[in-house]
């Protein structure tokens, strides 16, 4: 299951997300989305978890919780829309 994680501090690294979500189950991948020009975090990222029940537990536990000084927005990622 792919999970959207928003309201991340700009200092958050991929490894920080991995650590936070691995408490709920196996994490396949994590990525903090960065600006192409500056390389600075854009304040959101995605986590892939192999087990749906673990992903659901992570969403329920981490949504609205304080993470590195900010309250996270965590939910199931929506499919990417086509842009023209």
| Residue 5 pLDDT > 70 | yes
**pLDDT, tens digit (0-9, with 9 covering 90-100), for 42-79:** 999 999 999 999 999 999 999 999 999 999 999 999 88
Task: Report the domain count for the chain.
Answer: 1
pLDDT value, residue 4: 98
In order, the DSSP letters of 3-64 are EEEES--TT--HHHHHHHHHTSS-EEEEEEEE-TTT--EEEEEEEEES-HHHHHHHHHHHTT
- What range does the domain containing 36 cover? 2-76
Q: pTM of the prediction?
A: 0.91
Q: Kindly state whether residue 82 falls inside one of the protein's structural domains.
A: no
CATH number at residue 27: 3.30.70.330
Q: Kindly state whether residue 81 falls inside one of the protein's structural domains.
A: no
pLDDT value, residue 12: 95
């Amino acid at each position: 299951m792919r999970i959207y994680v928003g309201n991340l501090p700009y200092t958050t690294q991929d490894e920080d997300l991995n650590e936070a979500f691995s408490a709920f189950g196996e994490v396949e991948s994590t990525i903090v989305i960065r600006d192409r020009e500056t390389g600075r975090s854009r304040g959101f990222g995605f986590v892939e978890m192999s087990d749906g029940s673990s992903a659901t537990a992570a969403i329920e536990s981490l949504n609205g919780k304080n993470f590195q000084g900010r309250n996270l927005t965590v939910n199931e990622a929506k499919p990417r829309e086509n842009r023209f």
